[in-house]
Structure 1
Amino acid sequence: MISSFTPFVSSNTETLILGTMPGIASLEKQEYYAHPRNHFWKIIYTLFNNMPISEDFNEKIKFLELNRIGLWDVLQNCERKGSLDIHIKKQTENDFDTLFQKYPSINKIIFNGKESHKYFLKKFGQKEGITYYVMPSTSPANTMSFENKLKIWSSCFL
């Protein structure tokens, strides 16, 4: 059984980016999107014109907070062989009802990949007052080019 991290959310968070469950590299480092070929941090830093990307995870989280962005995963824990979402079994979802009560400023959810959206909708449905965006996964398993991912992700931040 593997478990996700605690949410990185603050009182000023307006946009919540949700993955499904951290991959092996992220779980080993205890950092979101730690795989060196994952495009997440490059996309976010490029969209906010803040290159180069910090190597320090705490600085990355501060950068997100400054831009009113939070991070979490849809699943609290699950069984999974490898890092691919298609291998998830026996999952338990995180407590989003409590999260949304505690952080009412969240008005946008960006799903990092279709699977996170699927698991969220199945358990929680559409939340009133929150806009959903389903983006291509930033995972290296998604072979879409960085440029195409960036173009699609930019639609969430216009």
Structure 2
Amino acid sequence: MKTQTVVHNFPPLYDSESRVLLLGSIPSPKSRELRFFYGHPQNRFWRVLSAVLGEQPPQTIEEKRAMCLRHHIALWDTIARCDIAGASDTSIKNAVPNDIGRLLRESKIERIFATGGKSAELYRKLIEPQTHVPITQLPSTSPANAAWSLERLIEAYRVIL
């Protein structure tokens, strides 16, 4: 698969009451098409998050947005721009970080979690030296992470509560 330069094309989801930030790496092609987080139907993120929060899985973008804000959860991605092949985090090169500091200043975010290894690695390298806020790495909800069952993912994500 050919590498292409990708620019993050939609804003973070947060408000002034957000307390927890979940960071992906960069949106997948499907998420960029929908202009919202975790848009690929095989990604288990929304099933995991709703189970952790004790809610029915949201179906529409508006339901997803409302569930996150109701529980003071912010969503964004570590990377604003990078070179990537498809949705392969392992292929990411030339990453430019998003302004996570802005979210921290405009909200009550106290804890940050990465929804996968590449997001955590790039946050630690590119962002944490400025924000001084540590990140906790969670397992990826991508279907490529088949080693993790839905049940194991839900248990791992309970730490966000």
Tell me the TM-score normalized by structure 2: 0.89
| 2:139 pairs with 1:136 | yes
Contact 1:78 1:90 in 2 (8 A): yes
Residue deviations 1:6-50 (CA, integer Å, cap 9, x gap): 111100000010000011211122221111111100011111111
Name the Cα RMSD after superposition: 1.4
Residue deviations 1:94-143 (CA, integer Å, cap 9, x gap): 1122222222x100111101110110110122645x46321000111111
Report the number of matched residues.
Answer: 154
How far apart, CA to CA, are the structure 1 residues paired with 2:11 and 2:53? 24
Partner of 1:62: 66
Tell me the TM-score normalized by structure 1: 0.91
Contact 1:33 1:41 in 2 (8 A): yes
Q: How much identity, in percent, do the aligned residues show? A: 28
2:114 to 98, 111, 116: 111
Contact 1:107 1:131 in 2 (8 A): no
1:49 to 26, 43, 54: 54
**Match runs of 1:114-125 below 5 Å:** 114-125=117-128
Which runs of 5 or more residues in structure 1 are unaligned?
A: none
Partner of 1:6: 11
